[in-house]
Structure 1
Amino acid sequence: MKSNKNINFGLYLVTDRDVLNGRDLISSLADAIKGGVSVVQLREKHTASRDFYDIALAVRELTARYDIPLIINDRLDIAQAIGADGVHLGQSDLPAQVAREILGKNQLVGVSTATVEEAVQAESDGADYIGVGALFKTGTKSNTRQVTPELLKEIKGSVEIPVVAIGGINHSNVEELDGTSVDGIAVVSAILGKEDIKQAAKSLHAKFQDIN
């Protein structure tokens, strides 16, 4: 398990098997990691617990092989059961403070935020990093709140912990985050929805490096 002080959040991949169009999740993630993905968040919103557990075990084996962190979306129990590096929580999920008490200080707790107040609260509650968005229109998640690049910059300046931008980020709009000083970008379709996953990750990573 990695120390949460040494995490590279640069290219943060959130899974969504629907955008893979039947392609294998594990081999797709391997290609993404080879292309530069530095963190994987496993998100399975509509999967039964046993299936989620089995998938998470397989993904855990892969991420361990490449020595990158695996974050589990929402499900603290799954994160603990498979020895994940941490959990990512939304505003309607288990409170970050409670997750921190359960997980202890060595595992990662990430929180989705869309306002300065939520960001400051997440940091106060013990979050290791925050996800901020949605920056752009996204097809992989409904009921998102809009965050402008200007607000993203303001949120980044309000906390000391790493900030990861999320929501509809792709190869054609990532440059709009120039000047925000974010620590990483979280994407789904911009990598997993592409025919050549490794190349998509590689080029997006390069674009983010150019503005960072």
Structure 2
Amino acid sequence: MSPSPVAAIKPADAAARPVPLTAARLYLCTDARRDRGDFVRFLHAAYSGGVDIIQLRDKSIDAALELRLLAALRDAAAEHGRLWAVNDRADLAALSGAPVLHLGQQDLPMGAARSLLPAGTSLGLSSHTRDQVEAANDGGADYFCVGPLWATPTKPGRAAVGLELVSHAAALRTVKPWFAIGGIDLSNVAQVVAAGARRIVVVRAITEASDPAAAARALLAQLP
């Protein structure tokens, strides 16, 4: 029997004040890592390497397990003074006390999501076109993501938008944080930065690394 993904949960020590969203540069999305049974250990490694935000994104798990995993994520984030995020589910974000909820274009509308959440919860929004980038910049999101830049198995069926959309986002007058996303790894992050991104979201570049902390540090070293 594989080990429980939350077997290693321990109460966080004195919680450090989390890094503000505006200062975040490296954002990680991870599944529940049920095939590895190392969810908690992985969280600590990623945060130790400098990841600013970790989002649990796993469509294969039920709500009860997701809440247990979010509790582990909350404790790890508190121990490292970092942020954590819920994907799509405003109800789970409210129940877990998440500081960040990320929504897609087809998810709950921003206003409806805010009505379910405590004041102060940050909302993020995915954007895949120029119009969506501009709407996210001008609308109610606290941050937005631009992509996917390259085709990625984590978003099957979603067409790649390329680096031009990054350049478009970079040219906007905005005070909102925004992140480039989609197929970014150490082999192409320099291109993303050259196109104008200052913040990135990654998945496999860290989740599939033999040393997640080292992978995070290497990515951060490429960011301005």
Secondary structure at 1:7's aligned position in 2?
helix
2:134 corresponds to 1:110: no
Cα deviation, residue 155, structure 1: 2.2
Asked if structure 1 preserves the Cα contact closer than 8 Å seen for 2:18 and 2:78, the reply is no
2:144 alignment counterpart: 130
User: Cα distance, 1:179 vs. partner?
Assistant: 3.0
Alignment match, 1:147? 161
Tell me what 1:167 maps to: 182
Structure 1, unpaired ranges of 5+:
none
Deviates more, 1:73-82 or 1:21-30: 21-30
Residue of 181, 185, 193 corresponding to 2:208: 193
Give the total of aligned pairs: 208
Aligned equivalents of 2:79, 2:22: Cα separation in 1 = 16
- From the superposition, tell whether residues 115 and 2 of structure 1 become closer, same or farther in structure 2 (CA, over 3 Å): farther
The code of the aligned residue for 2:70 comes to: A
Aligned-residue offset at 1:32: 0.8
Q: 1:38 aligned to 2:52?
A: yes
1:136 Cα deviation from its structure 2 partner: 1.5
- Distance in 2 between residues matched to 1:106 and 1:156, nearest whole Å: 26
Is 1:69 the counterpart of 2:83? The answer is yes
**Alpha-carbon contact 1:96-1:125 (below 8 Å) kept:** no
More deviation in 144-153 or 56-65? 144-153
TM-score, normalising length from structure 2?
0.85
Deviations 1:59-94, CA, capped at 9 Å, x for gaps:
111111111111100011111111110200011101
Q: Letter of the 2:212 partner, please give it.
A: I
Q: 1:53 to 1:104 in 2, by over 3 A?
A: closer
- Percent of aligned positions that are identical: 34
Structure of larger gyration radius:
2
Counterpart CA distance in 2 for 1:180 and 1:85 is 29
Q: How far off its partner does 1:3 sit?
A: 8.3
Q: CA RMSD in A?
A: 2.1
Q: CA deviation at 1:162?
A: 1.3
How far did 1:140 drift? 2.1
- The answer as to 2:106 corresponding to 1:92 is yes
* Whole-angstrom CA distance in 2 between matches of 1:40 and 1:98: 24
Distance 1:100 1:4 in 2: 22
CA contact (8 A) 2:93 2:117 kept: no
Counterpart AA for 2:216: A
Query: How far did residue 122 of structure 1 move?
Result: 2.3
Contact 1:53 1:82 in 2 (8 A): yes
Q: Aligned partners of 1:205 and 1:178: how far apart in 2?
A: 11
- The CA distance in 2 between the partners of 1:71 and 1:9, in whole Å, is 13
Instruction: Give distance in 1, aligned partners of 2:111 and 2:20.
Output: 19
Stretches of structure 2 that go unaligned for 5 or more consecutive residues are: 1-15
* Contact map agreement 1:11 1:36 (CA 8 A) in 2: yes
1: CA distance between counterparts of 2:91 and 2:70?
A: 11
